[in-house]
Amino acid sequence: MTLATAADYGWIRSSSFFAYGLEAGYTLTLVRGLPPAELFAVAGAAPRRTCAGLGELIDAHMEVLDGYENWPESFLAGAFTVPGEGGDWTLVVEFGGDLGTRPSLMEALSAGTRAVSHTSNGGKPMDFFHWYEDGELRVTFEWPADRTGSTPDDLNPLMREVGLNPTGDEDPDVDGKAAVLALTERLTGVRVTGELLAGAEYRTGEVPEEPVSG
């Protein structure tokens, strides 16, 4: 297990790419042992072109949005393989999408393995963390002290170590978003850096919006 803390992710506040994600809304998802092509198949995503770097992925994302006159009916997700704890992981980045927050999809993606995601919805200060294990949502929270899931307290020791307070007020000296990235690394063994995101070769898929039940 790595010993990452919020201090290891201070770079997110000086990264133009991460700033775009915070402004537009993003989801970053990590799934162990499931290659990008298989992950997209489970998500029902239509394969699209490969993007060389995060800048090209953002451009391709904008192209998808520009293809709709009104509300978009799909979003672009980019994925690549990265080594981590227990083997290879697929890291998925999306802007304005919700692949990493759909319960039924995350349950399917984490069947027999582990999946972790964290999000920001852009303009509103809403950020969520999700940890799934063997198809089960173990811990999820927006605020560290307000957790749900089947085992909501299982990450409390790790949360304290990365700088999150699972039982009370947040420390104003700790960057909560950076701490969530550190918590994600503790669970996956994957160190996410600006260089990693900027230089990765992204296999992309166009994910349809989830139908509205009525």
Residues 173-182: what's their mean pLDDT? Answer: 95
Residues 93-113: what's their mean pLDDT? Answer: 94
Residues 94-120: what's their mean pLDDT? Answer: 95
Give yes or no for residue 214 having a pLDDT over 50: no
Binned at pLDDT 50, 70 and 90, residue 212 comes out as: very low
Angle made by CA atoms 206, 62, 27, in degrees to the nearest 5: 60
Instruction: Report the percent of the chain where pLDDT is more than 90.
Output: 79
Residues 134-160: what's their mean pLDDT? Answer: 97
Residues 207-214: what's their mean pLDDT? Answer: 65
pLDDT at 56: 96
- Model-level pTM? 0.94
Angle made by CA atoms 86, 88, 91, in degrees to the nearest 5: 120
Phi-psi region of 188 (alpha: psi -120 to 50; beta: other; left: phi over 0): alpha
Nearest to 15 by CA among 55, 56, 51: 55
